[in-house]
Amino acid sequence: MTTTALMKRRAILAFMLDRPGVLNKIAMLIRRKMYNVETLTVCKTNQPGTSRMTITLREDSDEKMRQVIKQIEKSTEVISARELDMNESFWREVAIVKFEADEDRMEVLKRTYQFEILDRQNHELFIVQVTGTSLSIDEFLQDVGADRIIEVARSGFTAMEK
């Protein structure tokens, strides 16, 4: 297991002006600080001209996180940035998974997990959408089995304070 995998997962929520190049500017700023961005999701907000960015990375040092947030906030396009407390916010992810399974295996998966079947091909090839915590998606993938999985697309985290 790598050192990065052992480090604490952290999330930064930033609101910024919705302009070309802002995403790249923020990503480059984080990269220059030698952080490996784990996931990055961006969407428009209900306020015209404003985007919302959720950045997840792994870092144990509170001081390093404060430094990164201060650097992000220095950008003229950034309205605000802060770390989300994992215990005071909801973190969710979506995965689309293509895998092989027979009817019996699908029944077991349906009883254990909540997912939507998007497509079924050749009776034993399924494409499903799984939503939830990172852990629940990891468990689903493990139960399906690496030898049965053909492809996985994961969205990255989105998060919201309670």
* % of the chain residues with pLDDT over 90: 65
* Residue ranges, CATH 3.30.70.260, the chain: 3-84
Query: 89-161 domain in CATH 3.40.50.2000?
Result: no
Among 78, 97, 65, smallest CA distance to 23 is for 78
Mean pLDDT of 105-119: 96
Pick the CATH number of 3-84 from 3.10.20.30, 3.40.50.1000, 3.40.630.10, 3.30.70.260: 3.30.70.260
Which stretches of 18-157 are assigned E, i.e. beta strand? 37-44, 50-58, 78-84, 89-100, 115-121, 125-132, 149-154
In this predicted model, what pLDDT tens digit does every residue of 76-92 receive, in sequence order? 999 999 999 988 999 99
Q: Is the dihedral of CA 100, 101, 103, 108 positive or negative?
A: negative
Residue 147: what pLDDT?
A: 97
Residue 58: what pLDDT?
A: 87
Helix-strand-coil percent breakdown of the chain, rounded to 5?
A: 30, 45, 25
Q: Which residue has the tokens 């029944």?
A: 107
In this predicted model, what pLDDT tens digit does every residue of 21-49 receive, in sequence order? 998 888 888 888 777 788 889 999 999 99
Pairing of strands 50-58, 37-44: antiparallel
Pairing of strands 9-17, 78-84: antiparallel
In this predicted model, what pLDDT tens digit does every residue of 50-84 receive, in sequence order? 999 999 988 888 998 898 899 999 999 999 999 99
In this predicted model, what pLDDT tens digit does every residue of 113-138 receive, in sequence order? 999 999 999 889 999 999 999 899 99
